[in-house]
Structures are given as structure tokens and as C-alpha cells.
Structure 1
Amino acid sequence: MPITAGYDVGGAHLKVALTDDGRTIAVRQIPCPLWRGMEQLDAALVEAIALIARAEQHAVTMTGELCELFPDRQTGVREIVSHLATELDADLRVYMGLRGFAGTATAMAEPASVGSMNFLASAALVARSLPGALLIDMGSTTTDIIPIVDSMPCPRGITDGERLMTSELIYTGLTRTDPCVVAHSGRLRGREQRLAAGGFASMADVRRILGELPDGIDQHATADGRGKSIEESIARFARVFGRDAENASPAEWRDAAREIADKQMEEIRLAATSVMAEFKQLSAAPVVVAGIGASQIAALMAQQGKAIVHFSTLANAAADCADWATYCAPAVAVALLAGEN
């Protein structure tokens, strides 16, 4: 099998994985605020050079076509594919969902089959090893829930719009989501109140206050441009309640943060329950956890009595990149899948 570099081009990050002979040997997540311009992708690729220099082939999937840089999704797909093919100076294999991989010419001619198909790549890799499973990938912005039945991904929706209708896509993530998207009200010092929807904080602040944010995953600036200490996170979170940090104790702010984090996980639990209800075969199937919120998903679904499998196990990841193989599942998946074909 050739050494393969896999790329997941998102609107906020470039995720890159390197695989060799069916084994995941390196993974990186690089900040890439694509909405600011294609030069952000160039800069991220420069940072990835040390990882991808050994690659004999390249494979890509994406969600970045959704970002504000592009007038529509089809334009976004074409520009990203064209840009990568030029910058990598290589034959690029583009993931087209249920259709598998194609060359750049086919991908640019049929962009609707390319955009936001990264969830299917991860599900296809899971289906190689598990005949039945529920894959839940909680990223920085969204959460994907994909059923695998009879060794096949079986999403009821394919496009983002369809998947939002079927609860297989939820716009809630571990770090970049505004707490006011998670909840319209919260409890502070024993009293319920409305929240201020002003973009004052993020769920990264909530998770930092709770001590639940994995190292190295929150790579973007904070809402106020200040630092990422617990004290600074509490100051931002307090604004969501229309208050200053000194209006409550650190323990009271932790209690308020806990409630909002729990509401976020309850939304995911309800969606997962809805998806599983459509497939009786999944009642005893394990849950495969992926994304930077994998630990939170594992705890949530273990409480429901589900067996837990970390994506890195199915990706045959080296010990030194196992966590990141789980965090960056689609990049790993396209690398492994392309390496087999």
C-alpha cells in the first residue's frame, strides 16, 4: 500500500493524516480560518509539509465549501479541489461519498457529490470492521450521527439539509458553539434566567471552566480576543448571564457551566436515540466515538449502557497519534480508504 496523506478541509481547521500499509502513523489539526481567504489554506499546507512530505498519494474530503468565502457550495468545492491539486502538485483523489474516490476533473464536474461528505468516509471505515455500530463524531462546530447496518453506512440523509431533518447532523460542537445556541436560559445561584445571545463566549470557555477541554484542540481566538485561562473564561461566560465574574463564586460559575454542558449532551443523546430507533439492529450495537468531543460522547453513551469503541482502534493508529486519529477521523479515513484502492 502506498504512503497516503488524507486531508479534511474544514471551514476552521485543516486536518491531515498520514497512513502507511494500513496503519495510521501521524495526524495533525492545523488552524485554517478559510472564511478569511484561500491564503489560509496555503499557510496550513505549509505547516503540514513535515507530515505530508513522505506521501506517495493524496486524498481529500471537505466541509470548507460551506464557509462564507464562497458564493455557493459548488464554487467552494471547485476552488478547494483546484487549489489543493495545484499546491500539492500531485494527482489528488477526491472523496465522493457513496461513489468512492474520483480524480479532480470528475470532482469539479460533479461538486454536489463532493461537498460535506466527510462523515461518510469515517462511516465507511467503521463499516470495514463492525457490521453494526452507531458512529458519533463530535467536532468543534457540529456533531455527526451515522448508523452502520449490515457492514454498510446507512444514513437516512446525505446532504446537510436532509441530515438536519433526520437528526444525523446537529450544529453543536465542543468548542466553537455559542452557549446561547445550546440553551436560551441558565441557572445561576439557584435562579433561572434568560441568557444574553451576544457572542460573548463559546463552549470552549464552558469546557475550560469544567476542566474538560483536551490539550491542544482549541486553536482559535476567544470571543473577546483575550486569553484562555479559567479566570478569563469565567469572565466571558459571565457576560452570557449579563454579569461580571465577581457576581458569583468560581464554584457557582462551574455549576452554571455544568448545566449548559449537560444540556448540550442531552440534545446529542436525544438525536442519537432518534437515529437508533430507526434501526432495531442497533439496539445492542456499540457506539464508535470520534471527534474532539469523543470523551464526552463516550461518557454519555456509556451511561446509556452502550459499549464504546474509539475510532483510533479501527484506524490502527500508532500510540503517539491515537488521540488525534480519533479527533480527526475523516482525514484518517480518506487516507486509509484511498490507500487500499
Structure 2
Amino acid sequence: MNNNDTTGFLGWDIGGAHLKVAYCDNSGQITQVIQLPCALWQGIHELHTAMQQALTLLNCRHAQHAITMTGELVDAFENREQGVAEILSCVADILPEAALHIFAGQRGWLKPQQAKQAWRDVASMNWQASALFVATQCSQGLFLDIGSTTCDIIPFIDGQIQPHGLDDHNRQKSGELVYTGAIRTPLFAISHHAPLNGELVPLTAEWFASSGDVWCILEQVSATEIQDSSADGQPWQNRHCQQRLARMLATDAEEATDAQWRIVADWFAEQQLQQITQACLQVLSRHSAINKGAPLIGAGVGRFIIKAIAERLNRPYVDFSALCQNRDDAAAHAPATALALLAQQQLS
């Protein structure tokens, strides 16, 4: 896009580690989806910088802007209410208020000042954008979005989402939010031990390695795709991932073969798959009306995990990209994409 007068709709998903933005034109055609690093825990200036970078890349200042967030959770803010308020103030400093639409889930769209007052309806509602969009495309099933940090599991029946909880606290209790992701999850949150040379080795209780190391070793995630820093700040190439795994077992990568480290990675992958599969079954146990042939619909950078879980549950798998013009980037960043499309449908 190279026209400063471009209209259309931008969906902004403001996370604690990344900023995701999707653009669709007035006909609902997705033309660009981007992700930028945004270490919001370091301060609100990180968001200001990332948003300015996004506007330069997208060149769509005259679009309508739909906003959702999870970044209010970072520890740079005293609490979630303050987080929502500071994020919205930052957004309003950069984007024209007349073109701002804050997503409040099933409550609809709010202006920034309304959203600050109704912050509970705004905080961490990005999952609802994706789920509401999916429910317009499919009649029933489970929608899963596995990102770098978390996994959302949302049931929908007869074209209506059926969440048991709306805020993160209740969603965690219900199994609809699982704090495990494809890149940033510390390995000691996935397992407390791992096998090496035929023995189960207790893990060091340090953030020496993360799930990104596992999935890079297993070639499910490309090192060039990851924008997050690794645990030790070294690159995501295989030898560095192996060394980080080795530290979790209080040893060095040279003390085992490539094949052995792949088995260690397979172990952590299996533990994470089991965590998410069990959460799916917990959610399904509350919704017996979802028939056996209803699909799992997968989004996020970790949707390869969802495909594997669908096979385990003997259910069809539908990739989110199939609902979004077959764009892999749209599937990787589903909330931003869904938000842009919902805004085009509802605000035109």
C-alpha cells in the first residue's frame, strides 16, 4: 500500500510481547498482516514505537482502527485497569479518535473514554474477536488459538460462541485459557523432568529454555520466524536450542547426540500436547451438544499443535486460513485479522 489516503480497516491486537496488525479494504479483502516486537513490560514507550513502525509499514493512517489488547497484564502496570487506561491513552495519542473503535467483546464497540470506564469488557478480549468471526463461518466446534504464550479454547454451537468464563481468571479455571504457547513457555511449566540416557532427570528450576527451543529442534517452527529473544539471548539455531535444553538437565549439549536431544524435545512436545488435549476434553465435557464430527479450528503460530490434537481426538481439522482467503499470516495472527474483518462488516 502506498496511498496515504487509503481507507479500509485496521485490526490492532496489542499484546505484552508483540503488536499484531491486519488490514482489510472496504470490500473485506485482507491485504496485509504484520507482527512487530513490542516488549510492553519495559514501558508504554514500547507500544508507541511499535505503533509508529506499523503505521509506516502499512501507510494506512486514514483507515478505521479497531483495537483489542492483552498487554494490560504486563507488570509495567500496577493492575489491569491502569494497563487498559495507559494503552488506550497511547493509542489515542497516535490515532485519530474519530476513527478509533475499541473492541468490547459481545458488548460491541466503544470509544476510548467509554472503554476506560468499562475496562473489564475490554481487557484481554482478543480471543472473542477470533471466536465470534469463526462462529459466523462454521456452525459448531472448538476454536483453538495457540500463540507464542497462551492457548485459547472456545466452544461454539449453532453459530454462537459458548464461553464459560469471560475474564482470564475464570477462563483459566474453565480450561478455556491454558498458559502454554509455542515459543515463550518456560520448559519447567511443561514438565518437571525429562529423559536422557534412559534416566528421568529432574529439571533445573530456571528459565534456561522455552517451548520455542523444542519446536525449533523438531522443525515445526523456523528460527527466522521468531521475533522473541531466547532464554539466553542467543539465536534460535539448532545448536543453541540444544544447549538451552541441556542446561535444563544440568549438562551441556556436547554430552549427548543430536538424536538424543531430539528425543528430549519430543518429550516436552508430548507433555505440551497432553496439557492442551486435556483442556480440550475438559471444555468438551461441558458441551455434549458439540457432535463428534464437529471440527477443531486452528489459529496462531502454534496451530500445528492443534492439527495433531484433532487427530488424537479423531476430529476434523480446519485451518483458520481457510476462513480468511487462505492467508497463512491471517491464521498466525487471528485476532488482528478477525478484528479487521468484523469492523468491516459491522462499522461500514
Residue 214 of structure 2 aligns to a residue whose secondary structure is helix
Gap change, CA 1:26 and 1:227, over 3 Å in 2: same
Q: How does 1:1-341 map to 2 (within 5 A)?
A: 3-20=8-25, 21-49=27-55, 50-53=57-60, 55-90=62-97, 91-214=99-222, 216-282=224-290, 283-317=292-326, 322-341=327-346
The answer to whether the 8 Å contact 2:145/2:298 transfers is yes
Q: Which has the higher contact order (CA 8 A, sep 6+)?
A: 1
Displacement of 1:52: 4.7
Query: How far apart, in 2, do the equivalents of 1:107 and 1:95 lie?
Result: 9
Query: How far apart, in 2, do the equivalents of 1:273 and 1:55 lie?
Result: 45
Displacement of 1:86: 1.5
Query: How far apart, in 2, do the equivalents of 1:326 and 1:235 lie?
Result: 31
Structure 1, unaligned runs of 5 or more: none
User: Would you identify which runs of 4 or more consecutive aligned residues in structure 1 move more than 2 Å?
Assistant: 214-217
Deviates more, 1:39-48 or 1:57-66: 39-48
Displacement of 1:216: 4.2
Query: How far apart, in 2, do the equivalents of 1:216 and 1:311 lie?
Result: 22
Counting aligned pairs with the same residue, the percent is: 39
Residue 107 of structure 1 aligns to a residue whose secondary structure is helix
Letter in 1 for 2:206: G
Displacement of 1:301: 1.0
Displacement of 1:209: 1.3
Query: How far apart, in 1, do the equivalents of 2:154 and 2:279 lie?
Result: 11
Query: How far apart, in 1, do the equivalents of 2:324 and 2:112 lie?
Result: 26
The answer to whether the 8 Å contact 1:138/1:294 transfers is yes
The answer to whether the 8 Å contact 2:216/2:223 transfers is no
Displacement of 1:78: 1.0
**Count of matched residue positions in the alignment of Structure 1 and Structure 2:** 336
Residue 212 of structure 2 aligns to a residue whose secondary structure is helix
Residue 46 of structure 1 aligns to a residue whose secondary structure is helix
Residue 59 of structure 1 aligns to a residue whose secondary structure is strand
Instruction: Give the alignment's TM-score, normalised by structure 2.
Output: 0.93
CA RMSD of aligned residues (A): 1.3
Residue 65 of structure 2 aligns to a residue whose secondary structure is strand
Instruction: Give the alignment's TM-score, normalised by structure 1.
Output: 0.95
Deviates more, 1:81-90 or 1:169-178: 81-90
Letter in 1 for 2:66: A
Deviates more, 1:301-310 or 1:137-146: 301-310
Query: How far apart, in 2, do the equivalents of 1:57 and 1:11 lie?
Result: 23
Query: How far apart, in 2, do the equivalents of 1:310 and 1:54 lie?
Result: 31
Deviates more, 1:65-74 or 1:218-227: 218-227
Letter in 2 for 1:22: G
Gap change, CA 1:218 and 1:151, over 3 Å in 2: same
Displacement of 1:6: 0.3
